[in-house]
C-alpha cells in the first residue's frame, strides 16, 4: 500500500519521461553510427528523420509537462520547470528546422539532456519533499 501512495506522487510519470528521453538520446546518438556502418541505408533513414523527431516530441511534450508540473506543485522549485521548458523548446526548435538542418541533431541532443536532467531533479526534489513530510 505504501508503494501505491509513492506512485501517486507523479514519480511514475517522471520515470516514463526519463525513459522517453533516454530513448530519444539513444536514437540521436546511434543514428550517426548506423549511417557510417550502413551507407546504403542512408537515404531511407534520412528520409524519415524529421517524422521520427516529431513523434518523439509529441510524446515528450504531454508526458514531461504533466510530470514536471505535478512535481513542481509538490516541491515548488521553479528551476526544474525552467530546465524542462528549455529542453522542450530546444527540441521543438531543432525539429522545426528554424535554423540550419545540420543543427537538428546537436540541438535535439542538448534539449533531451536538459529535459532528462529536469526529470531527475524533479524526482529528487519530490522524494526529498516526501521524506521531509
Number of domains in the chain: 1
Confidence of residue 8 (pLDDT cuts 50, 70, 90): low
What stretches of the chain show up as alpha helix (H) in DSSP?
A: 2-6, 12-37, 42-75, 78-95, 104-132
Burial of 41 (0-12, 13-18, 19+ CB in 10 A): exposed
Mean pLDDT of 3-16: 65
Q: Residue 25: give the domain boundaries.
A: 2-132
Distance CA 131, CA 49 (A): 43
Query: Higher model confidence: residue 15 or residue 87?
Result: 87
Q: Taking 70 as the threshold, does the pLDDT of residue 9 lie above it?
A: no
| 70: nearest Cα among 112, 13, 127 | 13
Chain mean position to CA 45: 22
Instruction: With cut-offs at 50, 70 and 90, classify the pLDDT of residue 132.
Output: low
pLDDT tens string 40-76: 555 544 554 567 778 888 888 998 999 999 999 989 9
Note if the pTM is more than 0.85. Answer: no
| 3-state SS assignment for residue 133 | coil
Amino acid at each position: 500500500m505504501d508503494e501505491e501512495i509513492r506512485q501517486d506522487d507523479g514519480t511514475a510519470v517522471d520515470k516514463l519521461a526519463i525513459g522517453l528521453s533516454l530513448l530519444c538520446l539513444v536514437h540521436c546518438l546511434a543514428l550517426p553510427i548506423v549511417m557510417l556502418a550502413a551507407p546504403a541505408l542512408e537515404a531511407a533513414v534520412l528520409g524519415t528523420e524529421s517524422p521520427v523527431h516529431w513523434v518523439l516530441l509529441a510524446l515528450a511534450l504531454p508526458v514531461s509537462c504533466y510530470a514536471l508540473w505535478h512535481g513542481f506543485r509538490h516541491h515548488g522549485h521553479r528551476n526544474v520547470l525552467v530546465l524542462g521548458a528549455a529542453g522542450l523548446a530546444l527540441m521543438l526548435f531543432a525539429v522545426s528546422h528554424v535554423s540550419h538542418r545540420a543543427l537538428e541533431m546537436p540541438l535535439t541532443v542538448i534539449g533531451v539532456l536538459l529535459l532528462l536532467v529536469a526529470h531527475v531533479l524533479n524526482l529528487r526534489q519530490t522524494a526529498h519533499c516526501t521524506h521531509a513530510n
